Structure 1
């Protein structure tokens, strides 16, 4: 039987809309009842993040403009 863990990440003020998480944890739970004295920790990695954002009323303090050679911003 498949063991499915579901969850939801909710963001402040509902923006962006919640992200639904679904993960098959069948393999992680395979031996769960064999080691009853051992704890089970489930973890994960969020690989998708919201792409867009809107910023209003933001100010950068301590900005120092410098002059120099051309810069390559490709990462």
Structure 2
């Protein structure tokens, strides 16, 4: 009977170790996915900012017109 108790203890230890490894693996994977998404978001933001600046540089300045002279009535 002592042998079975010893095996149960080993099984508990094995289950705890497997759970720890699984948690670490999932955490690492989520961290990597977050890094990739952040990097992609930064690239899109940079691209959008560059497009705005390029569009502003290519657009001629707006013409300002002077108001019509007041009528003499």
The structure that has the greater radius of gyration is 2
Which TM-score tier does this pair reach, normalised by the shorter chain?
under 0.3
Q: Greater relative contact order: 1 or 2 (C-alpha under 8 angstroms, separation 6 or more)? A: 1
TM-score by length of 1: 0.18
